[in-house]
Amino acid sequence: MIDFGIRKIAPLCEEFGVTITDEIEKKLNLYGNLLLSWNEKMNLTAIKEPQEILFKHFYDCILFFKNVDVPQNATVIDVGTGAGFPGMVLKIIRPDLEVTLLDSLNKRLVFLNAVIEELGLDGIKTVHSRAEDAGKNKLYRENFDIATARAVASMPVLMEYCLPLVKTGGLLVAMKGPKAEEELAESPNCFKVLGSAQPRIFTETLTGEEQRVFVVCKKISQTPSKYPRKPADISKQPL
Rg (CA), the chain: 17
CA 211 vs CA 124, 178, 180, 182, 216: distances in Å: 28, 7, 11, 15, 16
d(CA 100, CA 88): 9
Q: Give the CATH architecture of domain 129-239.
A: 3-Layer(aba) Sandwich (3.40)
Which of the 8 DSSP states describes residue 143?
A: -
- Residue 83's nearest CA partner among 34, 147, 25, 135 is 34
CA 23 vs CA 32, 92, 120, 220: distances in Å: 14, 9, 12, 37
pLDDT digits (tens, 9 = 90+) for 8-61: 999 999 999 999 999 999 999 999 999 999 999 999 999 899 999 999 999 999
pLDDT digits (tens, 9 = 90+) for 146-197: 999 997 788 999 999 999 999 999 999 999 998 888 988 888 889 999 999 9
d(CA 199, CA 211): 18
CB-side neighbour CA atoms (13 Å) of 125: 7
168 CB neighbour count, 10 Å cutoff: 12
Please state the pTM of the whole predicted model.
0.96
d(CA 124, CA 224): 29
- How large is the greatest C-alpha to C-alpha distance in the chain, in angstroms? 49
pLDDT digits (tens, 9 = 90+) for 187-222: 888 999 999 999 999 999 887 778 899 999 999 999
d(CA 87, CA 156): 21
The DSSP line for 150-166 is ESSS-HHHHHHHHGGGE
Q: Where are the domains of the chain?
A: 129-239
Burial of 30 (0-12, 13-18, 19+ CB in 10 A): middle
pLDDT digits (tens, 9 = 90+) for 76-130: 999 999 999 999 999 999 999 999 999 999 999 999 999 999 999 999 999 999 9
d(CA 49, CA 28): 15
